Amino acid sequence: MSTTDREQGFQPSAAAAPGVKQEDFQEGKRAEAGKLRPRAASTKKRLSNPGASLIAIVLAVLWTIPTFGLVLSSIRPELATKTTGWWTFFADPQVTVNNYNVVLYGGQNNFASYFINTIVITLPAVVIPITLALLAAYAFAWMDFPGRDWLFVAVFALQIVPIQVTLIPLLSDYVDWGLNGSFWPIWLSHSIFALPLAIFLLHNFMKDIPKSLIEAARVDGAGHVKIFFQVLMPLLTPAIAAFGVFQFLWVWNDLLVALTFGAPDTYPLTERLASLVGSRGTEWHVLTAGAVIAMIVPLIVFLSLQRFFVRGLLAGSVKG
Amino acid sequence: MDFLLSADSAGDKLLAMVVAISLFVAVMGILLFAVDRPKNVPSWVVFLAFVGPAGALLVFGLIRPAIITIYQSFFDRTGANFVGFDNFAQLVSTNDLRQVLVNTIIWVLVVPIAATFLGLLYAVVVDRSPVEALAKALIFLPMAISLVGASIIWRFMYEFRADLGDAQQIGLLNQLLVLFGQDPYQFLLNGPWNTFFLIVVFIWVQTGFAMTILSAAIKAIPDDVTEAARLDGVSGTQMFRHITIPGIRPALVVVLTTIAIGTLKVFDIVRTMTGGNFGTSVVANEFYTQAFRQSNAGLGAALATVLFILVVPIVIYNVRQMRLSEEVR
């Protein structure tokens, strides 16, 4: 038993994943043994079943076509996009980057400056909650304190609070303090809203680190601060990446918080896009290019860090 | 120091961001240094230094405002006069607001079931295929796109051009209708089906999530079990019903409840697609409209409270299922 625990300690994903954890309770460790065996033997080439292949292809096409049409339209000339469907591109290919020029630097659109706003909002709103949550998760996992488990359950339970419930009172506080219209309320709010899930996830990962490691450091006379930075942090990089991707996507793509606490000077890309839909909902050459600009960074982050994201998903996924 | 509160140029904004991060690092650094340096600091002080900042923020930014909001839901639009349950009564008795509640229930029933079904179907058909990783990435991608972006993508799919002379459709779905000899259709304007066309967008986004979790669960079913069943001559569909489904039941519950919670809070899609007009509003969107557009703090607070009340039983069920399966383990 103890050896398995230790093995899992270095693979927090497997141990912390509710979706997976619950599966192998029936067969316990046999699941792991099964995974190690070459799968070739039992690989009943499912896709050789024509019905299954057909379903897979139909779904994949259905899921891809909407985005494809949008991206393709963003590089077609304004007139072509407005008068003909994007599928006519293949009969009459016309390509331009003008839409992107108009959207990024055109007077009223000026997506370049909203892009900056999104970056300015996102970085602190990812760094601050992760740091705070790491510290709290460490304390909940490795410090002895009366009532500790109780407090942890309370933090866990806070995941059920929908952020809508907090917005009206928070807004009036920010206005009272004169912070309104700056980035501070947005950073602060995103940080707060991320904490319950972040603490819960990181705590799960931390609990999986072998106790002997921590105790050995204690015996050597290391204090909690030292243990935290020198022993735990290096082991936690995958966990931090997992939650980091999560939080990054959440903040970058957020509309509600930015809209509630924001002002024209701080609005991110999402707000700009949403308001363009309202004011110029048929200007498809602008909307398509704008949407591509807003989604390009999260797509890159997502594709390059996909395995961390999946790990985060598997480790628990209720977000306030 | 003006740029800290009212940054209007790109340089000022980036500077404010750097200042904010540095300030945060400095404060946390001093705090940790203070409890680490002296010998024999009481252990509760160290604990407080680690948990305190996060705890204080949670009390300030989640617990306290939640209580205030619930309290406010019993007051009128200015927050000055106590009105009892009037705001809640208004939700049930006004036609428009009742429509909002009905729509929310439709959303929360349709999205989790449809997304879970499609996600499971896809996870099963691509399992162990040679192109599994690529096939999954395609379904997965919408999760990285903002809901605003997804809404624009689908508005473009639904785009309508009146059928006048030689005007061409530029929305794919209406093009298909025309191709099959039908009249083009106003997907977003015509109730009650427009709500379902909004729901499609969220299903499109959430299926990837369901597929990911369920695929991991399917892979966790021990090979011996499927092998033994296969040797016993169990057919594909029987295998699915008697081996796969029971094996992934806990994961199914997690997926269904998680998507249901996300669905209750969906705001961006409704706001971007229709602005909540044409009978498509849902609680989360109506909350924003009432609280921040109509300045009706009381009704807004009541809607937020309703959202809270709807979420709680789903979360409790979710947690209980997790607990149950951990105990069995």
Residue B118 in contact with partner chain A when CB distance is under 8 A: yes
Residue B256 in contact with partner chain A when CB distance is under 8 A: no
Phi, psi of B127 (to 5 degrees): -60, 125
Kindly state the average pLDDT of the residues B7-24.
86
Q: How much is the pLDDT for A304?
A: 87
Kindly state the average pLDDT of the residues B277-293.
92
pLDDT tens for B119-172 read 999 998 888 888 888 888 899 889 889 999 999 999 999 998 887 767 788 889
**Chain centre to alpha carbon of residue B220:** 26
Q: How much is the pLDDT for A256?
A: 94
- CA A183 to CA A195: how far, in whole Å? 19
| Residue B182 CB burial class (10 angstroms; 0-12, 13-18, ≥19) | exposed
Nearest CA-CA partner of B201 in B189, B213, B187, B191? B187
Which of A23, A226, A259 is closest, CB to CB, to B248? A23
Kindly state the average pLDDT of the residues A38-56.
62
User: Rounded to a whole number, what is the distance in Å from the CA of A72 to chain B's nearest CA?
Assistant: 11
A36 — pLDDT class (breaks 50, 70, 90): very low
Beta bridge partners of B267: none
Beta bridge partners of B82: B75
A43 — pLDDT class (breaks 50, 70, 90): very low
B325 — pLDDT class (breaks 50, 70, 90): low
Contacts of A99 in chain B (CB under 8 A): none
Length reported for chain B: 329
Q: How much is the pLDDT for A11?
A: 31
pTM: 0.86
| Residue B1 CB burial class (10 angstroms; 0-12, 13-18, ≥19) | exposed
The complex's ipTM works out to: 0.89
Q: Which residue of A has its CA nearest to B64?
A: A166
Task: Please answer whether residues A204 and A16 qualify as being in contact, where contact means their C-beta atoms are separated by less than 8 angstroms.
Answer: yes
> What are the sequence ranges of the domains in chain B?
2-72, 86-328
Lowest mean pLDDT, pick from A31-40, A92-101, B244-253? A31-40
- Percent of all residues in chain A with a pLDDT value above 70, rounded to a whole number: 83
Mutation choice for A interface testing from B6, B40, B125 by most A CBs within 10 A:
B125
Residue B173 in contact with partner chain A when CB distance is under 8 A: no
Q: Which residue of B has its CA nearest to A177?
A: B5
- CA B108 to CA B128: how far, in whole Å? 32
B327 — pLDDT class (breaks 50, 70, 90): low
Question: Do residue B156 and residue A73 have CB atoms under 8 angstroms apart?
Answer: yes
pLDDT tens for A204-246 read 888 888 888 888 888 888 888 888 888 888 888 888 888 898 8
Residue B140 in contact with partner chain A when CB distance is under 8 A: yes
Q: Which residue of A has its CA nearest to B260?
A: A318
Q: Which residues 86-115 in chain B show a CB within 8 A of chain A?
A: none
- CA A121 to CA A186: how far, in whole Å? 7
Q: Coil, helix or strand for B82?
A: strand
A2 — pLDDT class (breaks 50, 70, 90): very low
Lowest mean pLDDT, pick from A20-29, A61-70, A79-88? A20-29
Q: How much is the pLDDT for A73?
A: 92
Neighbouring C-alpha atoms within 13 Å toward the C-beta of B202:
30
Question: Do residue B227 and residue A42 have CB atoms under 8 angstroms apart?
Answer: yes
Highest mean pLDDT among A257-271, A297-311, B37-51: A257-271
Q: How much is the pLDDT for A222?
A: 81
Residue B186 in contact with partner chain A when CB distance is under 8 A: no
Q: In 10 A of CB B47, how many CB atoms? A: 21
A292 — pLDDT class (breaks 50, 70, 90): very high
Q: How many degrees, rounded to 5, is the angle at CA A259 between CA B193 and CA A268?
A: 105
Q: How much is the pLDDT for B1?
A: 57
Contacts of B226 in chain A (CB under 8 A): 42
Contacts of B250 in chain A (CB under 8 A): 18-19, 22-23
Nearest CA-CA partner of B28 in B56, B5, B6? B56
Cβ within 8 Å of residue B270, ≥6 positions away: B198, B276, B280, B281, B282, B284, B285
Contacts of B157 in chain A (CB under 8 A): 66, 69
Q: In 10 A of CB A179, how many CB atoms? A: 17
CATH 3.30.70.1880 is held by the domain B86-328 = no
Task: Please answer whether residues B292 and B280 qualify as being in contact, where contact means their C-beta atoms are separated by less than 8 angstroms.
Answer: no
- CA A286 to CA A306: how far, in whole Å? 30
* Mean residue pLDDT across chain A: 80
Question: Do residue A113 and residue B10 have CB atoms under 8 angstroms apart?
Answer: yes
User: Rounded to a whole number, what is the distance in Å from the CA of B95 to chain A's nearest CA?
Assistant: 23
* Sign (positive or negative) of CA dihedral A122, A115, A282, A90: negative
Amino acid at B287: F
Mutation choice for B interface testing from A168, A201, A280 by most B CBs within 10 A:
A168
Question: Do residue B14 and residue A151 have CB atoms under 8 angstroms apart?
Answer: no
Q: Which residue of A has its CA nearest to B118?
A: A59
CATH 1.10.3720.10 is held by the domain A111-314 = yes
Q: Coil, helix or strand for B75?
A: strand
Residue B163 in contact with partner chain A when CB distance is under 8 A: no
Q: Coil, helix or strand for B142?
A: helix
Residue with the larger pLDDT of the pair A291 and A27: A291
Question: Do residue B171 and residue A85 have CB atoms under 8 angstroms apart?
Answer: yes
B328 — pLDDT class (breaks 50, 70, 90): low
Give the pair of three-digit tokens for residue B125.
């058909």
Residue B206 in contact with partner chain A when CB distance is under 8 A: no
Question: Do residue A60 and residue B139 have CB atoms under 8 angstroms apart?
Answer: yes
Q: Coil, helix or strand for A91?
A: coil
Lowest mean pLDDT, pick from A16-25, A114-123, A137-146, B195-204? A16-25
Q: How much is the pLDDT for A317?
A: 45
- Percent of all residues in chain B with a pLDDT value above 70, rounded to a whole number: 96
Q: How much is the pLDDT for B68?
A: 95
* Sign (positive or negative) of CA dihedral B27, B33, B36, B42: negative
User: Rounded to a whole number, what is the distance in Å from the CA of B43 to chain A's nearest CA?
Assistant: 8
Kindly state the average pLDDT of the residues B23-34.
87
Calculate Rg over the CA atoms of chain B: 26
Residue B17 in contact with partner chain A when CB distance is under 8 A: yes
Kindly state the average pLDDT of the residues B56-75.
94
Distance between first and last Cα of chain A: 36
The yes-or-no verdict on residue A107 having pLDDT over 80 is: no
Contacts of B236 in chain A (CB under 8 A): 49
- CA A305 to CA A316: how far, in whole Å? 18
- CA A163 to CA B253: how far, in whole Å? 23
* Mean residue pLDDT across chain B: 88
Q: How much is the pLDDT for B101?
A: 93
Give the pair of three-digit tokens for residue B79.
């927050």
A48 — pLDDT class (breaks 50, 70, 90): low
Which of A85, A191, A294 is closest, CB to CB, to B175? A85
Kindly state the average pLDDT of the residues B10-24.
88
> What are the sequence ranges of the domains in chain A?
46-96, 111-314
- CA A131 to CA A34: how far, in whole Å? 38
Question: Do residue A223 and residue B6 have CB atoms under 8 angstroms apart?
Answer: no
Distance between first and last Cα of chain B: 57
B2 — pLDDT class (breaks 50, 70, 90): low
Residue with the larger pLDDT of the pair B54 and B242: B54
- CA B22 to CA A125: how far, in whole Å? 13
Q: Which residues 23-82 in chain B show a CB within 8 A of chain A?
A: 24-25, 28, 32-33, 35-36, 43-44, 46-47, 49-51, 53-55, 57-58, 60-66, 68-70, 72
Amino acid at B17: M
Question: Do residue B213 and residue A314 have CB atoms under 8 angstroms apart?
Answer: yes
Calculate Rg over the CA atoms of chain A: 24
Task: Please answer whether residues A301 and A248 qualify as being in contact, where contact means their C-beta atoms are separated by less than 8 angstroms.
Answer: yes
Q: How much is the pLDDT for A156?
A: 83
Mutation choice for A interface testing from B78, B121, B156 by most A CBs within 10 A:
B156
pLDDT tens for A160-180 read 889 999 999 999 999 999 888
Question: Do residue B141 and residue A299 have CB atoms under 8 angstroms apart?
Answer: yes
- CA B193 to CA B301: how far, in whole Å? 29
Nearest CA-CA partner of B221 in B253, B245, B195, B205? B245
The yes-or-no verdict on residue A1 having pLDDT over 80 is: no
Residue with the larger pLDDT of the pair B242 and A315: B242
Q: How much is the pLDDT for A238?
A: 85
pLDDT tens for B82-118 read 998 999 998 889 888 999 999 999 999 999 999 999 9
B196 — pLDDT class (breaks 50, 70, 90): very high
